[in-house]
Structure formats: structure tokens, C-alpha cells
Amino acid sequence: MPRLIVSILLCIGLLATIESGLRTALFHHASYSNSESIDAQLAERDASPHWNILLVGDSETRWGIHPQEIDEAFRRADVEAHAFNHAFDGFGASWWPVLLPPLLQHPSLEHVKIVALGVQMIDAHQVIGQRAQCGALQEPVLTSAFGEDLGLRALCRSESWDTALGNRLFSWLWTVRYASAIKSLLLPTPLLPQTPLRFNSRKSGEPFHGFEPHYAIAHDRGSYAEEFRRWKAQYNERDFQPLAAEIWMSLTSAGGFFDRLLNTVNREGRELVLFAAPTNPVVIDTFGRRADYETNSFLLRQWAVARRVPFLDLGIQDVGSPDSYFSDMRHLSGEGARLFSRQLGKALVHSLSSPTIELLAEANPSVRQ
């Protein structure tokens, strides 16, 4: 009997030692989100509690909206703003009704009063249910420790009832909760179910408040031309045909996608702003989508006016120097992001009501102190 007790105590002691070590150092060595760029983004987010504007959307927002320019636009209006770019590569508008509620619970975002979402105007959007079609950019993130903490792992990966029950009962143990992150440290890379996402090769500088700057097309025109050739070859006209008219009519109808999005943001006690994500016109024009874009923009503008939601349509940027302004077929370069963000910042300041502007001031901890 004493040996049994000693053995039990030794096992408990070993488990406690492992747990203590994991809680101290696991995410210094393993990726928390299975994405280098999101790991860096979260570290920067959590270093400050002062964010009061949250910018969300996909890579066109992540590469294209510079928070410094948004803050400066508000400062010129004598409002102290602290914008953070929380967009994720591959996570378009459809994902944010499920991402926002758990994200906004994080202490670093408790002062956020405005959520500005970048919307693709030539894509369909849908309400994500209990299961989703997770692609190569979504599944690694949502099945990571980060996805587990958001409670969204099940969107991409189902579990047997006994595994799910065990995870629920012992989720307080890091050896159980973050087993996949621990595996990434112990197993050779070829044996891992998925490889962590690396920084995009066109990244041109360090992140700034979640924003990532990228090289312009002019930095390497030859590579861009080859990439453009491959890009067109992987799609056919069917993939970029105008959407059926009823799709965006449904999205903007009563109880449709945008109503659900608005309700989600309002339930979290925040104000919603929509803006057309900046897209290289080559995408629009190569496949003849300008008329489609304008139709969808008109429908969303009608919806926004009826709900008193600011909608800023600056999405098609017909500029004189596209090789400097854009990074590739869809995204802005670092220089283009600054120029576009100045436009967006001015439009955002002018679109907000006085009560919302006052909310920003109230949400600023430094003002209250």
C-alpha cells in the first residue's frame, strides 16, 4: 500500500512538473496559432490595452490598412484613436460573425468600440454554422491552441464523443488542451498533420499594430508577371462569372447575412462599420466584374443606410502608378496601404456620428486617467 501511494504521489508530482513547465515555456517554443504572422499579431495586440478601433477582414485588409494612418485621421479631428488591424489571411467576411464574439472577450480588446470589417464586393458571403469548409489558411489556425481557446476548433475538425468528453473534462490540463502544440515540439516536421503557416514571401517590413507591409509590384516586375500568368491559368471564366443577382439580394435582405453580422457586433456592445476591401482593379477587369461590383455596392449601401451603419466604398483603386500602389493581383503594397488608409481614415471620421466619436474618447483609458 505505501508503494502505491508513493507511486501515485510521484505521478502527480511528475504531472505537476510537466504542467508547470508547459505553462511557463510552451508557447515560447511552439506556435500558438499555427501561423507566424498571427503569432506576431497577437503578441503585439496583447502588449497594449488601449485599442478602441478594431479592423478585421481577410488578407486585403491585413496587407492594406495601416492603423497609424487611421489614428492620424482621428487626431486631426481632435479624437484620440488607437486602431488595431486584427485581419487574418484567408478569413473573409463570412468568418467574422463567429470569430468576433470570442475575440472581443480578450482583455486587450475590452475598450474596443468600433469594429470595421473589410468586405469583398464580388464574392458571396454566408453564415458559418457548426461545421465549415476550412481551407489551407483557415484549418491550421482554427485547430491550433488559439482556435481551441476561441472555442472554434470543432468548425474544422470533428471528434468522437469520448475524445470530446475527455477534452471537456480535462481541458484545464495543458497536456490535454494543447496536445497538438506539444506534438509540434516532439514530432519531426514530416510527421505533423499540418505545417505552420509562414510569413508571406512579399513581406517588406515588420508588423505595425497588426498590419503587415508588403513589397510593391515594382520591386520585382518579372516575378509578378510570372505569378499573374499562373494565377490566370488556375482559374477559368466560370470561377469569376458575375454572381447570381439573388445572392447579394439575399445577403442584404431582412434577416440576411449582414443583419446577422450587425446583430453579432451590437450584442457585443460595439458599433459596426463596413468598408469595401481594396482590390487591384486587374481582378475586376480581367474577368469583367465592374458591373457586378457596382450592383453589389448599391445593395449594400441601401442596407447600410436603412440600418444607419457607415459603409465606405473605396474598394476599386484606379491609380496612376499601379506598380507602386499594389503588391500583386489583389493586395496593396506598403506604400499603397498608407495612401489608401489615409483615404479610409478621413472617410471613417466623417461617417461616424457624434455619439460614436464620444464613445471612442470614453473607451480610451488614458483619457479617463
Cell of 198: 509562414
Helix H or strand E segment including 146: helix 145-150
Torsion over CA: 121, 126, 127, 131 (sign) = negative
Query: What is the pLDDT at residue 167?
Result: 63
Which pLDDT score, from 0 to 100, does residue 354 have?
A: 75
Q: Where are the domains of the chain?
A: 1-30+144-193, 32-133+198-368
Helix (H, G, I), strand (E, B) or coil at 187: coil
Residue 214 has what DSSP assignment?
A: B
pLDDT on residue 368: 38
For the record, the C-alpha cell of 361 comes out as 474618447
Provide the phi-psi class of 90: left if phi over 0, else alpha when psi is between -120 and 50, else beta.
Answer: left
Selection from 181, 145, 179, 240 nearest residue 30 by Cα: 181
Contacting residues for 197 by C-beta, under 8 A, at least 6 apart = 34, 35, 36, 37, 38, 89, 137, 140, 141
Give pTM, 2 decimals. 0.89
pLDDT per position as a tens digit, 288-326:
889 999 999 999 999 999 999 999 998 888 888 889 999
∠ CA 342-80-368, rounded to 5°: 165
Q: Are 279 and 314 in contact (CB under 8 A)?
A: no
Q: Which of 313, 332, 330 is nearest to 321 (CA)?
A: 332
Please tell me the CATH superfamily of domain 32-133+198-368, with its number.
Answer: SGNH hydrolase (3.40.50.1110)
Give backbone dihedrals phi and psi of 230, rounded to 5 degrees, phi first.
-65, -40
Provide the β-strand partners of residue 312: 275
List pLDDT tens digits, range 53-84.
999 999 999 999 999 999 999 999 999 999 99
Query: Looking at residue 18, what is its pLDDT?
Result: 74
State the sign of the Cα–Cα–Cα–Cα dihedral 121, 123, 129, 135: negative
- CA–CA gap between residue 292 and residue 289 (Å, rounded): 5
191-201 pLDDT per residue, tens:
566 667 877 77
pLDDT score for 324: 94
pLDDT of residue 54: 98
What integer pLDDT is reported at residue 21 of this predicted model?
74
Q: What's the CA angle centered on 267, arms 102 and 90, to 5 degrees?
A: 45
What's the gap between Cα 225 and its chain centre?
A: 28
C-alpha cell at 48: 497594449
Residues of the chain with pLDDT under 70: 1, 6, 19, 158-170, 172, 188-195, 237-238, 361, 363-369
263's grid cell: 446583430
Distance between CA 54 and CA 33 in Å, rounded?
19
How distant, in Å, are the alpha carbons of 8, 13, 338 from that of 206? Answer: 49, 42, 15
d(C-alpha 242, C-alpha 259), whole Å: 23
pLDDT at 352: 83
